[in-house]
Chain A
Amino acid sequence: MRRFLLGIVASAVIGGIACNGYGANEGARLYAGTAKVDISPENTVEDHGQIFCLPEVPPDPPVPPDNIHDPLYARVVVLKNSTVSVAIVTLDLPEFSSKWVIDKAKSLYGIDHVVLCASHTHSGMWPRAMVVNSWSRKMQDPGVSLNWPGFSADPWYAATEQKVLATIGQANANLFPARIAAGKGAYESVYLGHNRRFVRPGGGVTMMWDNPERIPTKPADPTVRVIRVEDEAGKPRVLMVQYACHPVILMGAGVISRDFPGAMVDYVEQELGESCMAMFLQGASGDIDPYEISLRGEYGFNMIRQSGISLGKAALRVADDMASPEAAETSMQVKESMLKIPYRTGNKLSDACIMTLVINDNLAMVSMPGEVFCQHQLNLAAESPIANTFILGLGYSGRGSPYMLYIPTAQAVQEGGYGATQCSFVSADAGERMVNAAVAAIKELKNR
């Protein structure tokens, strides 16, 4: 297996070097490449309620797990013009912030920026070292309290790192001339997207994890955002769908699953054909849940399917209204902003990296390394000079803390509740600082 992966890496390196040659004479012509890889565990797993991991001593020889409902994937799109290259990697995992993958991708393939975006499915895999203690409840940066490089001691995690790296290389080796378009549309759903923090009129917060009666909640962001990468013939080759919602419909159901994002991706690919790769980009979902969670059995499987189809249909409606860009050239600007974020306790600082990618002054993506509350997306969209501006939640670009847990608003911290005063160590204004940095970066990049 390792030899196979090394082979892929080697061929991808050669491809990457070959591709680097064309850039100088191509102006700002956009090239794109795609690849995906199955990152499901190949050995039996332990069920830890919301998450799975390999047992302390995995069976040898491996015993294939019997609880994979739908396989987990890493999907990569590499975007490249003569000035900059970016790899966007989506992963059907709760969290994946491998500095090793990013550093290797940069050094092996010459890619300038890599952002890893986990979907945050609660039916996915974690490295075993993350399924210990109650690290998320401590008022500490997990980037410091956990040994992230040590995660690679987990055979599944190490294999996943290798696979993701190789897949970035594959995407980079298969570049085609491309054009990119972005759009957004309203998406009111009865499957997905309610705010799970119910602020009581008298004060205090009741966690409304699910909402079977579909009571309207706020803040919420009933918007689906779409990025389409097409080839010169106008054929869609990538459809990225950004939406904010915890993938927890099957949480605790005992099966490995991508949850609704996987069903969305399957539907979009079925509709657009195999030559188009669909990707799910998690948004500012820190306080956003599906209306129904933790469903079991066939009913639950059907609900992730219907939810995914619903989101996929909304995305395709938006895509249908998006005009293909006529200009052959694509401007692409990236900035990584390092911020010093105080702990809520005030006694320490944490480093946060906000990566801002602006394309054609029409699209701005901002990665933030945590579970960002929805209001931050609303604020960012309101303040950004670019129409299609959105947050990539749980986005890690290789610097700063890999995972800053929940990033609430100052108001939410005053109100309390899960994600605001629990499982959150950053200062109350951390999200505001990140949004301000993102807006400044967008304005700077737009004016370049």
Chain B
Amino acid sequence: MRTRLLHGLFVVVAVNVSFVGLAAEPTPAKGVGDVAATPRADASLTPATVEEKLTRLTALCQKNQRKEVVEEFGDEDIVGWLNAFEDKKQGTSKVVNGLNLRATSFNAVGDRERARQDWEDAAKLSPSSAHMWSSLGNVYRRMGDDKKALDAYNKAFDCYRAAHTGKSYNHVSISVTLETASVLMNQTKYSEALDVLKRYDDEDIPKMSTYWACRMLRAYGQVYLATGREEEAMTKFKTALQLENKKGE
């Protein structure tokens, strides 16, 4: 018979390739931390050649050619691309984009360790990017490091809180909320999980897309089940089904 890991309940969304999301991220408030570009060794590296590499990397990812990405760019010094730019802000954006694409590819072929390294570098270069912290949280979780995963998810959510007034219904902020709750559920910290989910209450859920609303409702249902609140759980599960059925009409 099949087995299913608990975190399957909160299906981990595949680390997505959101180029738009990256471009829209606020500019890092601080420097690049301890991710330092190596001294410029390749005189041929220019903004144009970086753009060319990034275009190629993007094209491969869009075609989901992850193995090719790893073969072609696995040893590429993407952080070193920074050296090509006088305008470090512009350079950082390209580097973070490149790191994210490669990390996503490493992750897709199961090389979690190199994915983690790239996302750590990306998060340090772009510490206000919720997307990077979220992806980093996911890879930590898959590597079994729940403590670091929780920390990364919290940073992701804080990024949104800092960048937006009011509540964010962006998928990343909802996703990290669900993932955080899922980790806490696995740790049997049910009341903490419920507290995290309460970032989004009954008034917020209808404002989400059907997909995220259903996931949020079921996450609530799951916490209620774990705490013996069966009637409330039943209500949440039924509401989710009604929403899905309504969407299908």
Mutual binders A and B: yes
Q: List the interface of chain A (C-beta within 8 A of B).
A: 50, 188-191, 209-210, 212-216, 248, 251-252, 292-300, 302-303, 306, 309-310
Least Cβ distance of B128 to chain A in Å?
Answer: 34
Q: Known contacts A294-B1, A303-B225: does B237 contact A190 (CB below 8 Å)?
A: yes
Least Cβ distance of A114 to chain B in Å?
Answer: 31
Highest count of chain B CB atoms <10 Å: which of A190, A191, A212, A303: A190
Least Cβ distance of B223 to chain A in Å?
Answer: 11
Measured CB to CB, the nearest residue on chain B to A189 is B230
User: Which residues of B sit under 8 angstroms from A300, Cβ to Cβ?
Assistant: 6
Candidates A191, A216, A251, A302; contact of B230 at CB < 8 Å: A191
User: Which residues of B sit under 8 angstroms from A309, Cβ to Cβ?
Assistant: 228
* B186 is an interface residue with CB less than 8 A from chain A: yes
14 contacts between A and B (CB under 8 A): A190-B234, A213-B218, A214-B238, A248-B1, A251-B1, A292-B9, A294-B3, A296-B5, A299-B188, A299-B226, A302-B188, A302-B226, A306-B225, A306-B230
The reply to whether B226 and A303 form a contact with Cβ atoms under 8 Å apart is: yes
User: Which residues of B sit under 8 angstroms from A302, Cβ to Cβ?
Assistant: 188, 226
User: Which residues of A sit under 8 angstroms from B8, Cβ to Cβ?
Assistant: 212
The reply to whether A298 and B228 form a contact with Cβ atoms under 8 Å apart is: no
User: Which residues of B sit under 8 angstroms from A298, Cβ to Cβ?
Assistant: 188
* B164 is an interface residue with CB less than 8 A from chain A: no
Candidates B186, B228, B241; contact of A306 at CB < 8 Å: B228
Measured CB to CB, the nearest residue on chain B to A299 is B6
Give Cα A172–Cα B225 distance, bound, in whole angstroms: 41
* B221 is an interface residue with CB less than 8 A from chain A: yes
The reply to whether B241 and A214 form a contact with Cβ atoms under 8 Å apart is: yes
The reply to whether B185 and A299 form a contact with Cβ atoms under 8 Å apart is: yes
* B4 is an interface residue with CB less than 8 A from chain A: yes
Measured CB to CB, the nearest residue on chain A to B9 is A212
The reply to whether B185 and A210 form a contact with Cβ atoms under 8 Å apart is: no
The reply to whether B241 and A213 form a contact with Cβ atoms under 8 Å apart is: yes
Least Cβ distance of B80 to chain A in Å?
Answer: 43
The reply to whether A295 and B6 form a contact with Cβ atoms under 8 Å apart is: yes
Measured CB to CB, the nearest residue on chain B to A294 is B3
Return the CB mask of B168-197 against A: 1 if under 8 Å, else 0: 000000000000000001101000000000
User: Which residues of B sit under 8 angstroms from A295, Cβ to Cβ?
Assistant: 6
* B233 is an interface residue with CB less than 8 A from chain A: yes
Give Cα A303–Cα B186 distance, bound, in whole angstroms: 12
